Structure 1
Amino acid sequence: MALRLNNVYKVALINFFSSLYFYLPVLTIYYQRRGLNFVQINSLWGIITATIFLAEIPTGVIADKIGRKKSVMMALFLQLIGEIAFIFAQNYLHFILISVIAGLGFAFQSGCIQALVYDSLKEKGKEKEMAKASGVTEAFYQSGHILGALLSTLIVSRLEPGRITWAIILTALSVGVALVISLFIREPNLDYSHPEQSPLKVVKNAVGLIRANASLKRIIWLGVLTTPFVGYLRNFHPPYFLQNNVPPVWLGLSLGAGGILAVIASKNAYKFEASLGVSKAMLTATLIPGIIYLLMALTLGPAVAFLLFTLNFGSMSLQEPLFADYYNRHINSQIRATALSAINMISSAYIALIGLLIGWVADQRLTWAFLLMGGIVILGALTFRINEKHVVVD
């Protein structure tokens, strides 16, 4: 079956199995049982993003040199190693080491996955379908989260240590399946390799493109400053539900319901843009998470808390396919993975630094953290609005 699928659907299947996590709904509880506070918990995501920051450009250059397929395989291999190590982790230092491994894996995957999909479409003259293809891959990614979250209600509902360990083992097995599927990816038949150029020159060309392209810079600033903080939302998920008296069994169900909305949002993002136009679509897609964060700062009871988390988690996937399309329109194949890695590097640095502040604020009062995240997202959405002229490339 994998041999007959095109690259878009192979990537989609990889996204599905590599996102099939069975312990995410109780991850914060797991960390807290190991003695971690919110600053330390958020710092782990900060360490991941800091590692991405340091590794993004080198891994992007490697992807442009050796090909997208090998880079995806390396990313999944590192992810598998991280999950196996997670089974045996006992303290903050162990989690730090695992976060570094995870960051390296994300760095290998972040730029080359989009580049692989776009170049696979481009060689068939279908690059204008990038938003649609990105929606498909994102939908499969969210589907993995949905199934994992729903099954977690059965596997870890009683929060027993042994059950959580089994959830981690099952997650590792799923990542292993994704690694096997990556063996069947077909490298796009495009001349994007450049052995005659040094890595330094590739980086220079990618950075030069970003600096010289005013429209691309504005899109990047919008993407960075309206990042919906999905990792931090997951960290605050259990205490937010506890604060609103939501039963623990609803942790997995809310992630599953949010994932269903995310699939719908990501698959229909290109239709959403076609209906509203670039300006209104992007403003709406970036504003929604910020507004919901402000509402989450209020204590409104179990039902409303469940609804707000579900809507926020689901709506976050509306913007990703659009940003993927807009970035790729401005970047040529020769430096695509490197340029995308440079963009992700900027985003990673921002998320790592702001996450420490958000974690410290959450340790003081969780509602303040939601107000902070909502205010940042809304300010970014209103300050760096884009329109059709920013995404049309001559």
Structure 2
Amino acid sequence: MVASVTTEPESSTRRSMATELTIGDPALADRLARGMDASEKRLRAVAAEALDPGVADIAGHLLASGGKRLRPLLALLGAEFGERDPSAAVAAAALAELVHVASLYHDDVMDQARTRRGVPSANARWGNSTAVLAGNWLLSKAAQLSSELGPEAIRLQSDATHRLVMGQVRELIGPSGDDDPLSHYFAVVAGKSAALIAMALQLGAVRTGAPERVVEALAEYGEHLGIAFQVADDILDITSSSEVSGKEQGKDLAIGVASLPVLLALAAERPEADELRTLLNAAATARTVATVAPEGAGLPRAVALLDRCGALSEARAVMHARLLRARTALNGLPHGPATRALHALCDFVAHRDH
């Protein structure tokens, strides 16, 4: 049986997000909500294209689990800057989500994650090989969809997918001996997060014939917003419960991944650095030996160290600096409800880590 890709509560959540970003403009809120619903139908149709019911079930697993659908929303907002009907961007919105969800399958294998969006991860349920193939299948469907949208959509999707894969490879390999760990971190984030957010905005704008200067401004905005979004994710991993974030609390810490707060703490060689490094190495070793790290091993102490040394505050400062650069990029866009919504999205990211 093909997994259902949307439920009424999830649809209401997405509509609520669109409404929050468009306060004072019910017409835009309604267009976005209708576009989101239409993109969900397109995603459901993609899952149904798998002739094998098992493939459909696995490939539709994370699509069915919902999520904020940020990237489809961004594609629809980008479409507001063109001359054609924004509904022309519905397929672009679905395309953006397909690439994103495919990346989640691969990320969960790399991280050995057990849950995603409040449900068992595909790798936990079906195994690593199956999860990787499901992600690949979704990428192949994204490529097919981009071919229907024209040469520019093909270019944007292929460029973003290339950057995504390179970001995943860089993360897997890690920095070389000569690499600055912070520079390596931002290169990974640019590929894995910023590239997809920028792609979504550009795809929507291109579909409705937005001027090139607008497409470029949206791309710059998306790059900085994407990095800020990932930094907020790093902070959430440390500070928020699974119920809030939708993922395992402290997942990065538990597997020894050096997120931005950790890198900042280690880079300054604070008094807490040696103990923090020991905790991370122990977590990584336990994960390698036992496949699954001991529940909460060293996590409370690591969180306390990151807070005490000021690394969490520094990470928040980095996030806000990126959001300021994103807002600055919006100066190149015409004033209007869609631009105000993109400013509101910066506010949303700024408060994500609370």
TM-score (norm 1): 0.28
TM-score (norm 2): 0.30
Structure richer in helix, relative to its length: 1
